[in-house]
Amino acid sequence: MSAIPTATPVDDRIGTVQALARQLRIDSIRCTTRAGSGHPTSALSAADLMAVLQAEYLRFDWKDPRHPNNDRLIFSKGHACPLLYSMFKAAGVIRDEELLRLRTLGSPLQGHPNPHVLKWVDVATGSLGQGLATGVGMALNGKYVDHRPYRVWVLLGDSEMAEGSVWEALGKAAHYKLDNLTAILDMNRLGQRGETELGWNGPAYAARAKAFGWKALLIDGHDIAAIRKAYAQARRRKEQPMLIVARTEKGRGVSFLANQENWHGKALSVEQQAKALEELGAPTDLRVPGHRPARHKPVPSPAPAVLTLPVYAPGTAQSTRKAYGESLAALGGYDTEVVVLDAEVSNSTYAEDFKKVYPERFFEMYIAEQQMVSAAVGFGVLGKKAFASTFAAFFTRAYDQIRMAAISNATIRLAGSHAGVSIGQDGPSQMALEDLAMMRAVYGSTVLYPCDPNQTAQLVALMARHPGISYLRTTREKMPVLYTPQERFEIGGSKVLRQSSQDRLTIVAAGITVHEAVQAYDRLAKDGIAVRLIDLYSVKPVDKATLRQAAAETGNKLIVVEDHWVQGGLGDAVLEALADAGTPLPRVVKLAVRAMPGSGTPAELLSTAGIDAAHIVAAAKALA
């Protein structure tokens, strides 16, 4: 290939951008044809938009992708990643032969961007509608926490504008006046199966964005001068985010692809590629590294503080949700990297305890759980220790964001309160009964379920330095303090609360059912039945060794009691731990919620579900 010089006279910048756009189109076709799959037409529509951005407006040190002043670029339309990878080649960070390994086994250039294997990618995309929400988190971090000059650029597809999470993001970005956030809408009219909902109705997109409080510009997405002008305006914008609605053609640059249906997600054949390159030209090796960010000025680190967690005296009672909030407040004074987000229930999750002392690091996401989780991801990938909390049941709305956070290699901490039937009179719509199953299924996740405020405080502190997706399940009701402040806990651990050499079976519980199990133990002891009692507060990873030892020493009989549906929760975690424990396999009785609950007092609902002390006693007598 013939290299084009990177040094270009100022008055020929448009020519360089045009040459770069042509190369991006050519390379997007070449790599997808070689792969035999991909989305070349989705890449072609946005090539001019990205060529201007890379050549003139993106401030990014390609040799140092974690530079704190780097602009951030998110391809929310992640299927257009052949364009992104072609930009990497133009920046000089991957070679042409690497580009041509797109979508092959072992290649970091996967079918959608993945930060597990690409250091120039911040977040995984591909599940549409999430990129802008994550960009909001990054922009919040830059404007309000780190006070950095970087800008967040998000490339949106027009099909994904139907996703509600996009509009959650638009609302929160305007609320927080994120003038460091620019969204670029590649309005190419065609989705996967035909025309999008609004087609080329740019004024409709603009009117909607304006109604949410954004500045909106309508441009021709293939007019280099218009693109340059729009980006310049975006950089000058104050107190308001900007949406650039760019009318484009899907498949632009190739006559038999441009604005044609039935080309979404289809690679060109070798013969079709040859025909396309007759129109676009021969492959080139233009290098356009763009501009570097402002110099990093290190901020002096505050003197290390001593973490002083709240303590709770045995003999008193407190809810684990309150302990969560008080522990967050303690963490905030110890670590300035901690940020907290909440979904308008901070007086119930007690995240408000953090807000009262560190309001500058607290972000109200209102009732927008998808936005909250995505914003936490945005904070997390930029190094912040983000905690996000709401009622546990409502994390189900954001499950796609949570699973994508795992694909993004993000570290975020989620806290779900008001779990299980024990919340009482509010009824089943508020009761998280599937959250343990949901969170256990997330790749690399950690799932914790404390029964005691001192235990909660230590687990919150452990979460602050633990990588990956972690989830803390908290309880609404006050519960007796079981552990002294000196007791120590670890992720992957458990506590044997009661044991003897005469134990005839093991009772395993977590959270509120630990207290029911303690009452059951006392009743069984009066009847001369010795049992072992395990607080399995780490639901994932689970303490296999303790469970297997208990099974072996107590007749291979276990009862697992949980305030959760019978599927996928604590009982299944125990079964998985014992599945290959040898023969004979332990017998496991699961006491869990099996029928749709209604309203009632916590005691009534625990009894109706068959998970209170009386039912544990009955099950133990039957098993023993």
HSE, side-chain direction, 13 A CA sphere, residue 594 = 9
Amino acid letter for position 249? E
Q: Within a 10 A sphere around the Cβ of 548, how many other Cβ atoms?
A: 16
Please say whether the beta carbons of 293 and 59 come within 8 A: yes
DSSP reduced 3-state for 428 = helix
Give the integer Cα–Cα distance in Å for 252 and 498: 71
The two tokens of residue 326 are 């008080």
Give the integer Cα–Cα distance in Å for 538 and 446: 8
| Active-site pick, 163, 326, 352, 369 | 369
Alpha helices in 95-188 (DSSP H): 96-99, 131-140, 164-175
For every residue of 86-107, DSSP letters joined together read HHHHHHTSS-HHHHTTTTSTT-
Q: Is 56 a catalytic residue?
A: no
Give the integer Cα–Cα distance in Å for 557 and 550: 9
The two tokens of residue 445 are 């996740």
Give the integer Cα–Cα distance in Å for 35 and 28: 11
DSSP category for residue 78: G
Please say whether the beta carbons of 406 and 381 come within 8 A: no
Amino acid letter for position 430? Q
For every residue of 455-518, DSSP letters joined together read HHHHHHHHHHT--SEEEEE--SS-EE--S-TT----TT--EEEE--TT---EEEE-THHHHHHH
Q: Within a 10 A sphere around the Cβ of 251, how many other Cβ atoms?
A: 25
HSE, side-chain direction, 13 A CA sphere, residue 485 = 9
Q: Which residues are catalytic?
A: 369
